[in-house]
Each structure stands twice: as structure tokens, then as C-alpha cells.
Structure 1
Amino acid sequence: MISETTTYLRKCIVLLILAAFVSTGVSAQSRLSADEKRLTRNIKVSTIKQITTELASDRFEGRGTLQRGGDMAASWIASQMKAMGLKPLGDNGTYLQSLPLVETVFTDETEVLLGSEKLVYGKDWSAGLLLADMSVERKLIFVGHGMVSDELGRNDLKDADLRGKIAVLVDGPPRNYTAEKWKVITDKTSALPLLFQRGAVGVLLVGNGRELYKHDFIVDQTARRNIATPEKAKERFPLPVVFLGDAAGAKLFEGSGMRIGEAMDDASDLEFQPMELKPSLKVHLRSKQTEANSHNVVGFIEGSDPVLKSEAVVFTAHYDGFGLLNGKIYNGAADNAIGNGEMLAVAEAFSKMKVKPKRSLVFVSTTSEEYGLLGGYYFAQNPKWDITKIVANLNLDGIGTEIMGPIKNMVGFGAEYSTLGAMFNDVARSYNITPMEDPIPEQGVFGRSDHYPFVTRGIPALMLVGSPESTKEGFVRRFNEFEETKYHQPSDDVYQNWHWPGAKTVADMMGILGYRIAQSPTAPAWLPGNKYSNLKRGDTIPEGL
């Protein structure tokens, strides 16, 4: 949290900027058609605020998948769609599209010991994969970065005997490599297969301080309920692959004659030698699986053109959060109650149009995004609209940067791949907003939200994220600030200093883009020269693309 003094000064600056923004409002919308201006007037800040605040309230208990709060939220969103005049497009004439999922949680019998010290799940360790129940005790061997590469001049394994041992592997680049550069290398040549080929029976991943994500953060984020499809829930890895938090990682080297910092420095050297560690690891895992249904919420507005109404623009925003965990509520206000508030405000505005857009408009509040885009993939694989006639997808999911102040820049994740990019740029400039290229390409955001399942079926898509900052560096700073203090935490709540007009700007952008796509005589298309160029609507993306 920033200081009270900084907050006061920021509020003063925001008021000055807002005054300037309002004074240029007429010119900012001068390139919009009369219908587009009427549409944006009907996208109400009050609707965005009311829906966001309600969904992020304790009433819905964090909207957890396969929890009571998640089911309550789905029913409430359905009631909002009905009140707005959207037609149901779920199962059996309802707004709900049900999908079967399986929850896996460790039971109280689970125990992990490093030497004689018990490690705490969620603080000291987390599972990198969905692990099978097991009971093992093994010696540990430190293998550094585990890299064997003539190109890099590295042989971290030397002649080490890994058979029957658990390998301790460094997460983070050696000296003289950035995290981004090392990720490119390890994406091509992962150490894990080689470690298992050489006889390792498990892997402990420990951070060296240069990793892309700090290990205490990773442990916190991954030590939660596992939600998967029934098929994936059966695929349980038989060997322990475990993340260690920073304190637990340091304990690995007790009794070895060196501290963790020295060990990490040694691991950077080409002359690194693997080293057996003093403590053993004892793992006793027991889990419980429960299968139940979760729900996407789907409504639509029928198009007005007798031919084009068979085609649809799909709008998405995930409503799920992490729910109730260890007695705490993860309300997920910025991620992603506000996305639903913005999307449903757009739906409300379209429903008020006397003459509806030519193409139909489908609105989907997806479930289980936080567990691998499960709701988005289910809809894309079991579409409630002819998949070959879905012309585009517009998705809202972010980090709440739009409520940090008036929008100056906006990222259209995916803009470079299709003709949606040029349309996005034109609408942004109509609002005196500067389109920004992906400021964090190393984080692979384009593949991490519910637009991407549509891409895998050949449908051009964009995810819209607004920023109050005018530079890439400013955006990244705000992104990091949110990630470090509120991302997937109980602190992601609605705050009094939220700048709601910024959220309206994002909703306006979504509405105008959707309107132009719906009115266009031709559907958006993939641009030539990229990996999606050859996809057609209804395709399934080739593995590894």
C-alpha cells in the first residue's frame, strides 16, 4: 500500500487530469458514429460499479469454483442477464452451461519432512503438478541448473549418480543471463526429462533470487485446490515435483559446509560439481477428489440482419475467483469482478438499442479461468453457437489498472495477429488513447485468459487492458505493484479510491469494437505471416503451436 501523503497527492493529480479529459470529451469521440455515441452513453458507470461491488462482496465468498459462492455468483449473473433482456443460451433453455470438474485437495494426513523438520504446505512447499498419493523417503542431490548443453558449454550433471535420488534444481538463470533469456533456453531444452532419464525419482525446485517469479510467491499461488476436468484429474504424476519457498530452500544446505547463496553462485559456474546434501526428503501424500458441476453463464442478443444474425461476436469475462481458502475470502475484485461489471454494462447498453447490430452478440461469464481456462475451453469445445460462425471474441481480464486513474494507454493483447488490431487502434485513437504493444511479452499473457480458447478454434480475439500510465515502464510498474500486493490475494477488494470512469473507458472500447465487428460486411481475419495465419474458424489448433 502507498502512503497516505502519496494517495492525497495522486488524488489531486487525478482530479486535474480528469478535468482535462472531460474538457476534451467531445473531440475524443468526434470519430464515432451517432449510433456508437448513443451506445457509449448507455454504458453506465453505475452499472459497472454496482455489479463489480456486488460480485466482490463477501456474500459470494470469493466465487470459488465448485464452492457455494461460485454457484451463487453464476445464478446471480444469470439473473442480471435476464433483467437486461438477454436471451438464455445455456443448457435446456437456461443461462447456465454446466461442465463437470474435479477438485483435488491434500488431506490432513499429508506430511513432507526435510530431515526431521516438517514443511508447511503453502508456506514452505507446493506441488508443481497434480501428484499421486505416495510415501517415499529419498536422499537429495544438488544438480545446479541441471543443464547439459554443448551449445552453452555446460555439463551440470558431470558423472553424478542420480539413481533413486531427488534432484535439487535451481530455478532462475545463471549469472550473465536475464530471466527472459534463460526462459527461452529452458523452454527449448528442459532439464527435467534428462534428470528422470538419469534415474532421479523426484525434483525440488529452489529459487536463486534471479528467477522470473519469486518462490515464496509461487508456493503461495500454487498451494491451492486443484481443479481439473475429469480426464485430467486422473493424470497424476507418480514422482514428487515440488516447489520450495525461500526459507525451506535455505535449509537444504544446512550441514553441507556452504550457505544457499554460495551454492547458487557455484551453480552459475561452468565447472559446477553436483553435490549430495545432508538432509533427506520424506514425502507422505494423501488426497481427496470430489467431482461436481460448475457453470458458464451465457446469454445473447439476436442480430437484426436476416443473414448476418446467424453469425456472432462473443464477449467474455471470467467470474470465478479463488473463493474460500483457509478461512480467508479471496474476493477477486480487480481479477475479475470488474471485468464482469464492464462486460454486463456493455450488454445492457446493446439491449437498449432500438435497432440491434447486424450480427448477434453472445455474452459469456466463464468459470474456472483461474485453474487453466477450463470454462473458456469448455465453451470453445462445446460451443453454444455454431463455432464456424463466431466471427470474433473480445475478452476482459486484467489487474484492475483501469481503476488506477484515467486511461492513457491500452493494450489489445493479440492485436498483432489479426485485422482486429487495426480496428482496435482506430477506436483507441477516437478516445485519445494510445494503443500500446504488449509491455510484458515474457509473461505470455496472450495465452493466459479466456480469449485464447477461441484462438485455438481459429477465431480472432483480443483481450483489452487499460492503463493510466503513458509509458511501458509505467504500465509494468503498476502491474508489478498489483501483483506483489493484491494479485490472487484476499486484499484484492474494491477500494474507495478506485477511478470508475477508467472502467467505463474500457467498457466503451469493448462496446464500440463489438459494434463495429457486428456491423462490418466482412468478418475479422488472421493476418499473414504469423503462427495463426492458416487457422480457419472451427479448426483445432495443432499441438505445440
Structure 2
Amino acid sequence: MNARILFFLSFVILHAGHAQSPKFKHKYLNAIDSTSLKKHLYILASDSLEGRNTGSDGEHKAAKYIIEQFQTAGIQPYNDSTYLQNIGLWTWRWNAFDFRNKENKLEHYKDITYLSTAPIETIINAKCIFIGNGADTLMQDLNLNDKIAVAVVENLNNWYQLASKTKRQGALAFMMVHCSDNEAFSELAQRMQASRQEQSVYSTKPHFSKSLTKAFALSAETVEQLFSLPLDSLKALNSVDAFSRLPQPELSLYCPITIERAQANNVVGYLPGKTKTAATLVISAHYDHVGKQYRGICVGADDNASGTTAIIQLAKAFAPLKGKLDKNIVFLATSGEEKGLLGAFYFADHPQEHTFAIKANINVDMIGRIDSTHKSNYIYTIGNNHYPEFDSLVHVANSMLTPMHIQYDYNKSQGFGNYLRLSDHYAFHRNNIPVLGFFSGLHKDYHKPTDTPDKINYSEMEQRVKLIFTTAFLAAQKTAFSTQDD
């Protein structure tokens, strides 16, 4: 930290009254307490929100809750008409899985599981041919043209190479059964079913090539019914001649998709600064998470119900300063961060949708836990190695409170620890806007159903949010991030 900058900023803060700016008062922090933080976080990380996957009903519920809190605090809609900013995503979902053996329907996830993302928009009617373990010595003498190749394998998760080989020999689809462990099929089916409960979202309209490989897993019972032999007997077959004596049952395969615009929205409100000012500080946190896994709902308590809770409570703490600060403050809860910072990119790249001149960004992502290298009283900061003024501001803010240990471990420019590109602040940094990220570190529950509200350290989180408020208060002063065109 540059000592001269720190001295200058301290002087400015202590004499802010001369510039008609409000002086910092500790009473502004009264709205930030562990009880309120815990209340919001438990709501945002509840099972009823189903992991807040981008564009999902659970995320919509979270957006509604954030809007209600902004309204209660008197935070205005970002464009004076709505708090919701659609971020222009596309989504696709499966319409149906219709797989049949003659007139008998195969139950998806019980008898058969589709593994590919390739839609089957036109019904495939084709005969199945058994190919053993798919060894080259067997495959070279098999005619797979316009057929469905069925193999016995040792690993249901390692199918692509063999599936591609059958496709090159003319097969319309590839199916496989585990050679000995039918539980492997059940586990894979559960995993695929859970993943498909979540819609897939894209920044552009998705396109699926008709030539994509179509791969399936089958239960042992299904394979035995298809070929009228026990699995152990099928495994013992090792010649093309033996395969040719098996029945070649016909299957019907159909699984179309729907592509449509996603209802994925940033939630954006703002606190007006002094009359007619366009200069704006953005405080951001993503409120989306990763939805469901087959082992349970990823409620995302730390990631990032903690950051979302922080901006709700920061909005309430700043509310009494409406019209008094030198900058507007935008409170930005982004969608699509888990899909690639999509909501933050959209907001940063569409200035025509608002009237703010963005001077700086403070981003809050995972501030609720204690990592394995600390016991208490710390926070990681990200980006301030690029922006010395922000580094000075956070240290001045820290000196105005009970000091925390400000850590730089995730503030590297490259390699491990380079988190500048991994959260929403990067969308502003790449537009040359000064950024400062707050982060409490990684932990073993990251992106797992075990990231739950009971593991949050609420007293530690309270101190962190107070530091964020004080840093933001300083960043909202006229002297901070000022340019000639202000």
C-alpha cells in the first residue's frame, strides 16, 4: 500500500464535510448484524429454492425475495421501471424420452438411459446387433450399417471411443451394459436424471449437429430381454458367428427438445446520489447457484447466498444516505455467474440499458466461511493489486473499524490463486473499471449439497459486511475514482 495515498485518503475522509459530503458515522453500520444476515441467508439457501439454478423457478423465487428486500429498503429499480434485467440467454430442455421395443415402452432411467445431448427429432427404427466387448478383431467382420450396436463394457463412464468406432462403421446408435455391476447402471441413471432436471442455458441460441453420437446405457435385465439370454451367457460369446445366431430386436428411439428464450434475470436496484450525478459505484453478488445433484440440492449457502445476503443488508444500511452521497450506488444481484459470469457480462456490456457512469465495482462472492488456514478475523481481497486506490481504500476502511487481517493469497496475476477472472468483478475489470472482490476462501463443501446455512460463521460475516460497507462508503465519495469528466 502506498503510504502517501493512504495519508491523502485519510485526510479526505476526516475532512469530508468541507466538500458537503456526509461524514462516516458508525451508526450507519447498525443495520448490519448477524441476526439479519442469518435470516436472509437461511431463506436464500432453503431447499424450496432448489439450488437457484440459472433461469429456474428456484432462481425466480430468489429474485422475488431480493426485490422485496430492495423495495422495503427504498432502493429504486435500476431503470426506474423494473428491477429485472433479462440477460438474453437461451435454454433447451428435453420434451420426452420415448424408447420402445416393439409395443413395449422402455422406462427411461430404469431400463435405459440416454447419455448424449444430441436430440433425436426424427424417430429411429433400427435393429440391435450384439458386438460383445467391441474388440477390433470382432468389429472388423460385423456389418453395423443402420443398426444399433450393443456392447458389454467394464466402465459405463468411458464409452465415447467405442461409440465413435461403431458410428464410423455405420451404426445409428450405441448401447452398452456393464459386464458385472448393475448398480453402476442405477447410479449413472440417477446422476443423469438429476442433471436433466436442470435446464441448460447458453448465451447464444444452441445448435445441435445431426451427426452427434447417440449413446445409451442399458440395465442387465433389458439386455437379457432383448437378446433372450442371461448376461453371463452373452458375455461368453466371442465370435461373429455366435453373434449372428442371436435375435436382432428392433427398437424405436425418439427424444425431441424445445429451444426457447431463458427467463434468466439480473436483479438491479439503485440508491440515488446527489442530484443529477451519473457517477456510480456498483456493488455486485451473484444469486444463482448450480441447482440439484443426484445426491441432493446444492443450496449454495456460502456460494453465494452469503454474497447476496450481504448486498441486501448493504442496501438497507445505505438507504438512509439516499441523495447524500457523491455517487449513485447500484446493487447488482447477477444471474448466470455459475454459467460463465453471464449476468455480469451482460450488465457491463449493455450500458445503453441504464444511465449510470460506472466508476468502480465491489464484488462479494463467498464471504461466510472460515477456511482451513484461519481461525477468525480475516478476509481475502481480489483485484486491488491492479488498482492501488482500491487497496488504499480498503485499508483506510479497515482502520476505521475493529481491524481484520486483509489477505492477498487469491490476488495473484497468474497461476493458482488467480481469482480475478473467476467471479463477476472480471466483467468490469475487462472494461477497465477498478474492481475489488471480497472472498473468504475455498472449502470442501464448494458446489456440493453440503454447503449449508448452518456452516456459516455469522459473527465473522457481520464484520466482513461492515468492512465492505465502509469501503463502499469511501468509494462513493467524490474524491474516490474521480476523473476530469465527472
TM superposition score normalised by structure 1:
0.56
Using the alignment, how far apart are the partners of 2:320 and 2:425 within structure 1?
Answer: 26
| CA displacement at 1:461 relative to structure 2 | 1.6
Percent identity, aligned pairs only, is: 23
2:36 equivalent among 47, 55, 73: 47
1:233 equivalent among 175, 185, 205: 205
| CA displacement at 1:316 relative to structure 2 | 0.9
1:367 equivalent among 335, 338, 345: 335
Deviations 1:268-323 (A, max 9, x none): xxxxxxxxxxxxxxx9875333434232211111113x57x310000111112344
Contact 1:95 1:297 in 2 (8 A): yes
Q: 1:47 to 1:75 in 2, by over 3 A?
A: same
Aligned equivalent of 1:516: 474
Deviations 1:214-245 (A, max 9, x none): x9xx999977735435x623344666599999
1:333 maps to 2:291: no
| CA displacement at 1:342 relative to structure 2 | 1.0
Contact 2:410 2:417 in 1 (8 A): no
Q: 1:429 to 1:67 in 2, by over 3 A?
A: closer
Aligned equivalent of 1:14: none
Q: Is the partner of 2:324 in helix, strand or coil? A: coil
2:416 equivalent among 442, 451, 465: 442
Deviations 1:423-464 (A, max 9, x none): 355157532313223178437532222222222333222221
Deviations 1:186-214 (A, max 9, x none): xxxxxxxxx9xxx999xxxxxxxxxxxxx
Using the alignment, how far apart are the partners of 2:134 and 2:479 within structure 1?
Answer: 63
Which amino acid letter does the alignment assign opposite residue 62 of structure 2?
A
Which amino acid letter does the alignment assign opposite residue 79 of structure 1?
E
1:452 maps to 2:426: yes
Q: Which runs of 5+ in 1 are unaligned?
A: 1-30, 112-117, 143-194, 202-214, 246-254, 256-282, 468-474, 526-536, 538-545
Using the alignment, how far apart are the partners of 2:451 and 2:169 within structure 1?
Answer: 40
Contact 1:420 1:462 in 2 (8 A): no
Aligned equivalent of 2:286: 318
Using the alignment, how far apart are the partners of 1:219 and 1:436 within structure 2?
Answer: 39
Q: Is the partner of 1:316 in helix, strand or coil? A: strand
| CA displacement at 1:41 relative to structure 2 | 3.6
| CA displacement at 1:422 relative to structure 2 | 1.9
Q: How does 1:278-427 map to 2 (within 5 A)?
A: 286-304=256-274, 306=275, 309-323=277-291, 328-353=296-321, 356-383=324-351, 384-386=353-355, 389-398=357-366, 400-402=368-370, 407-423=376-392, 426-427=395-396
Q: 1:234 to 1:392 in 2, by over 3 A?
A: same
Q: Which runs of 5+ in 2 are unaligned?
A: 1-11, 15-22, 100-106, 136-163, 171-187, 218-234, 236-252
Q: Is the partner of 2:41 in helix, strand or coil? A: helix
Using the alignment, how far apart are the partners of 1:343 and 1:403 within structure 2?
Answer: 22
Using the alignment, how far apart are the partners of 2:479 and 2:308 within structure 1?
Answer: 29
Contact 2:369 2:457 in 1 (8 A): no
Aligned equivalent of 2:7: none
Q: Is the partner of 2:475 in helix, strand or coil? A: helix
Which amino acid letter does the alignment assign opposite residue 47 of structure 2?
D
Q: 1:133 to 1:100 in 2, by over 3 A?
A: farther
Which amino acid letter does the alignment assign opposite residue 37 of structure 2?
I
Contact 2:90 2:206 in 1 (8 A): no
Q: How does 1:5-16 map to 2 (within 5 A)?
A: none
Contact 2:90 2:261 in 1 (8 A): yes
Q: Is the partner of 1:416 in helix, strand or coil? A: coil
2:93 equivalent among 102, 105, 119: 105
Aligned equivalent of 1:507: 465
Aligned equivalent of 2:62: 73
Which amino acid letter does the alignment assign opposite residue 368 of structure 1?
G
Which amino acid letter does the alignment assign opposite residue 312 of structure 2?
L
Deviations 1:131-162 (A, max 9, x none): 5658899x9999xxxxxxxxxxxxxxxxxxxx
TM superposition score normalised by structure 2:
0.62
Using the alignment, how far apart are the partners of 2:96 and 2:295 within structure 1?
Answer: 16
Using the alignment, how far apart are the partners of 2:386 and 2:411 within structure 1?
Answer: 16
Which amino acid letter does the alignment assign opposite residue 77 of structure 2?
P
| CA displacement at 1:77 relative to structure 2 | 1.0
1:95 maps to 2:69: no
Q: Is the partner of 1:93 in helix, strand or coil? A: coil
Which amino acid letter does the alignment assign opposite residue 451 of structure 1?
H
Aligned length: 385
Using the alignment, how far apart are the partners of 1:428 and 1:244 within structure 2?
Answer: 58
1:83 equivalent among 66, 69, 72: 72
| CA displacement at 1:341 relative to structure 2 | 0.9
